[in-house]
Chains A and B, each alone.
Chain A
Amino acid sequence: MRMRAWVVARTQAGLASGSKPVRSAASRAVRRGAVLGSARTLTAALALAAALALVLSLTPGFAGMLTPGCTGALSAVAYADEPAEGDNAVNTQQLPDSSFIYDTSIGDLAQADSYFDNQTVQVVGEAVGDAIRSGLDGRHRWITLSAEGDSSTISVHMTSEQAAKIDTFGKYGARGTMLQVRGTFYLVCPDHDGISDLHAEVVTVVSRGEEVPDEFDANAFVPGIVTVVAGLALLGVFYWLRERQR
């Protein structure tokens, strides 16, 4: 279901990026056609090509065939939009058409089967606990991402620079930074002795964390004080009765 949703989204994105050059080429052809006297023919041909592209791209079986050129453009555009990922706007690790991004949830990954293994996924979650050192060189960190609404979590392996984007870690009295992480999910990671983890490629802060400390409320202690006094009074009476019996 999610894959289908992604395919549709990707197709629409492909259309958006693909249709622009088609439109500009068409307008240029109109101007040239006016000069050459064959504007109608060219416009009709390009319009036909655009319509054909639209139909083919909406047809599931042909969507992939049309996208290679578009994917490259999309990837470049998408990565260029992402901040602080180095000078190179193109992700060289991104394979042409064999890797997919599943915009998924941590809960799904926590119950994932081999279907998700080795796939590029994207999840959103709250950074909780601590930034745990990975290895001795200090270049990488383990971050635990927790899903909102349920108890599912996932271990994310990221660089120390990416981990530095986290301003607050979730714990009692603190809501952690919400991160969107795109990376490769491993059901049984070959690099980390079989752990189930996500190797982050792109880490984006969705919302900053915040400290929510408990405020002292004297009224909240009243029921406790009343019961403690009652209990101590009962205990006092008990010891008094026991002494009297002796």
Chain B
Amino acid sequence: MWQRFTLYDVRVIGHYLGVLVLFSSLALLVPFITAIACQEWRPAAHYLLAIGVSLTVGAALRFLRIEPGRLDRQQALAVTGFAWIVLSFIATIPLYLSGHYVTYLDTLFDCVSGMTTTGASIIVDLDHLSNADNMWRFMMHLMGGFGLIVVALSFGLFGKRVDASLYMSEGRSEHVVPNVVQTTQFIAKIGMGIILVATVILTGLCLFIGMEPLRAFLQALWLSISGFITGGFAPMSQSVMYYHSFPIEVVLMLVMLVGSISFVLHAEVWKGRVAVFFRDLEIRTMVLWLAVVTCVFAASLSASADFSNLPAMLRRGLFMVISAFSTTGFQNITTNQLETSLTSGAFLVLAMLMAVGGSGGSTSGGIKFSRMGIIAKSMVSTIKEALAPDSARVVVAYNHVGRRVLTPDIVKEAMTVFILYVVTYAVGALVGIAHGFEAAPAIFESVSMASNGGIVSSLAAPGMAPTLEVFYIVQMWAGRLEFVTLIALLVEIVVSLNPRKWVVKR
């Protein structure tokens, strides 16, 4: 028996979406203040309009149910699923008015990319974008990276006592502390602390390379946000390559690495339990995976005439590996080099790195190390069972914030999400190929979108085919929510509409 939405559910969902939309008007205040401070009057007018629209839409949605009560699991799922798209539409208002997009769909693509921390951008003439618009792009990263629901919960927008289903519907399952709201506040605090430290260091480095103080500070802040959130937007069109600075690249590599590690493990290190960190299944999977893939990547680069020398391989190769596996999407080589100078093997290794992604419970996208580790453990369990006598009971355990026993439910969840990711990567590649592109870039782009990786080849470009663009938007949305929330939501909508009744009537 499938669950259906009742009218009451729709009104409650509408009310809470209104709460989130109202919250976005608070977030829009940041670029509005930036615009006024930098005397960017045109963007200031755009942001005032966007604030007005979000206030009006948010307040109107709240009228759907004046006293909504607490969200149940089903409603929480819908609020989370719709929030990412509704807030992306609100976010398009000032950016579309900036005149830096060829079509409205391009603006929506960038906003979904920003919110889902994919980091793929098809903006035109980024180097002339106002500080206010840039600030908004990175605010989207900040909200999306922590999670819209996490941010809303940490601000207490859903009340102090909240059901865990709302938190879990956004692809998070682990609690730093038992209380959901306190967990989200911890995530926000640790994230903001790291961003602050990185901003200070990067500001110094940007000043050293000759940037003006204001530009140095703003770009350091934006790079720190984008790096830690593993987003991938950059304030300049050449991405990180623009700075021509190895120290900046090193700092960003560290920030990306920190961002791709689970917040739960951050908390353990914070509490002084460093041994827990090194025993963790995710960390061990990460080290093993990166060691193997980096060797393959280096071997593949050695075969190319261009990147085979050690300094180039270390500087460009290492940065791209970390950017890809953390699903950040920063680049210190050009898109052209990605396609023409890298070997096809190195190109596909980057795609594989993005496909697997970082740690669960971090800001990274992709399948996640936790699932890969669990699937590997499941294989070990199957082999052990095959070798063990019939009377033996095989128990396989793993470490993830304490010792845990591998259960069929955990394996099923990991396998389901793994298969959904792989299928989405494959379907996205076929869609790209159907639009007349070569297979390798089509695979690369599809993986980049669904894993929220953000390193793009030549398929995602201003004014791209609308069908491909819409598919990529859906891929980014589905990948960020790790499919289950989205599929459950879509199924529930279809069931609620009861298509069989419509067919019988006709």
Contact = CB atoms under 8 A, between A and B. Distances in A.
A232 B25 CA distance: 11
Main SS of the interface on chain A? mixed
A245 B68 CA distance: 12
Interface residues of A, number: 57
A130 B208 contact: no
A47 to B, nearest CB: 51
Contacts of A113: 340
Nearest to B44: A221
A43 interface: no
Interface string A136-149: 00000110101000
Nearest to B243: A132
A85 B11 CA distance: 73
Given A110-B334, A132-B210, A144 B127 contact: yes
A20 B491 CA distance: 83
Nearest to B210: A133
A170 B52 contact: no
A235 B48 contact: no
Interface in A199-241: 213-217, 220-221, 223-232, 234-235, 237-238, 241
A218 to B, nearest CB: 9
Contact of A188 (B39, B66, B245, B306): B306
Interface in B223-263: 236-238, 241-245
B315 A194 contact: yes
Which of the four size classes fits the interface of chain B? 35 or more
Interface string B38-70: 011110111111111111101110110011000
A193 B312 contact: yes
A220 B41 contact: yes
A227 B336 contact: no
Given A227-B56, A231-B54, A112 B336 contact: yes
B125 interface: yes
Contacts of A181: none
Nearest to A219: B45
Nearest to A196: B334
Contacts of A214: 39-42
Nearest to B246: A193
Given A130-B215, A216-B41, A224 B209 contact: no
Contacts of A190: 309, 312
A114 B306 CA distance: 10
Nearest to A163: B210
A232 B334 contact: no
Contact of B52 (A131, A153, A188, A230): A230
Interface of B, helix, strand, loop or mixed by DSSP: helix
A216 B35 CA distance: 12
B390 interface: no
Given A170-B128, A196-B333, A228-B55, A187 B341 contact: yes
A151 B332 CA distance: 17
B126 A224 contact: no
Residue among A141, A170, A227 having the largest count of chain B Cβ atoms under 10 Å:
A227
A128 interface: yes
A187 B337 contact: yes
Given A131-B210, A187-B340, A227-B55, A194 B333 contact: yes
Given A144-B127, A227-B56, A245-B67, A221 B45 contact: yes
B124 interface: yes
A64 interface: no
Contacts of A213: 39
Contact of B67 (A110, A171, A242): A242
Contacts of B55: 227-228, 230-232, 234-235
21 contacts: A110-B336, A112-B336, A114-B340, A129-B127, A132-B210, A141-B210, A150-B124, A151-B126, A155-B244, A190-B309, A193-B316, A194-B307, A194-B341, A195-B333, A220-B42, A227-B52, A227-B53, A227-B56, A231-B52, A231-B56, A235-B59
Given A187-B306, A220-B42, A223-B52, 13 more contacts: A112-B340, A113-B340, A130-B209, A141-B210, A194-B311, A213-B39, A220-B45, A221-B48, A224-B51, A229-B52, A230-B56, A232-B55, A234-B56
The 5 closest A-B pairs by CB, nearest first: A227-B52, A231-B55, A224-B48, A194-B312, A234-B59
